[in-house]
Amino acid sequence: MALRLGDVAPNFVAETTEGTIDFYEYLGNGWGVLFSHPADYTPVCTTELGTVAKLKQEFEKRNTKVIALSVDGLPDHESWINDINETQNTTVNFPLIADKDRKISFLYDMIHPNANENFTVRSVFVIGPDKKIKLIITYPASTGRNFDELLRVIDSLQLTANYSVATPANWRQGEDVVIAPAIKDEDIPAKFPKGHKRIKPYLRTTPQPNL
């Protein structure tokens, strides 16, 4: 059965470029991003892994660990990482899972026969501290993933988790957010002391509460 938002992310133990990793232990009490690649030595994925390496500090600011997966083995991973470091002018600084038997790929429904029976599709999972899946995105092989958008989504998810707010279309850090419908009007002043705008009974906004 395919994983859905709100499902508990399955745990696993895997061989990676940074040794044997228990997924839950690796994530600890923080957030996590698991993203898959169809195979090693693929051009678009080479740029993606390099981009994630350069964004490590941004993920760390958000208490988020990243881990990648490909269906090839460790020797190929290590050789590919050399290529990534060279061509993307960076150093890969997160684990890359070796999934030759495709156990994790099937566990996370990353094998889509309609796309390719042998390789993973390019999936992204964001996992919260409660180990539940908060976001699933699947990209076609020809389109590089937008990791700035992924960081934006993590910011939104963390605001929702901590402050009973949602974020409107195209929201960016520092912009107003939407007060959750479950919050009663009379409770807003105490919960959101920065003030709020009542645009409609169901549409109330407030300045971003953690700034």
Would you state the pLDDT for residue 90? Answer: 97
> Catalytic annotation on 45?
yes
Which residues face 66 on adjacent strands?
33
Would you state the pLDDT for residue 104? Answer: 93
Q: Give the CATH architecture of domain 164-206.
A: 2-Layer Sandwich (3.30)
pLDDT at 115 over 60: no
pLDDT tens sequence across 38-97: 888 989 999 999 999 999 999 999 999 999 999 899 999 999 999 999 999 999 999 999
Give the start-end residues of each E strand in 60-209: 64-70, 96-98, 122-127, 133-139, 165-166, 177-179, 197-200, 203-206
**Cα–Cα dist 83/65, whole Å:** 23
**Is 13-143 a CATH 3.40.30.10 domain?**
yes
Structure tokens at 138: 């699947």
Instruction: Find the catalytic residue in 45, 68, 81, 177.
Output: 45
Show me where the domains of the chain are located.
13-143, 164-206
Would you state the pLDDT for residue 79? Answer: 96
- Position 142 confidence tier, pLDDT thresholds 50, 70, 90: confident
- Determine what percent of the chain is predicted with pLDDT higher than 90: 83
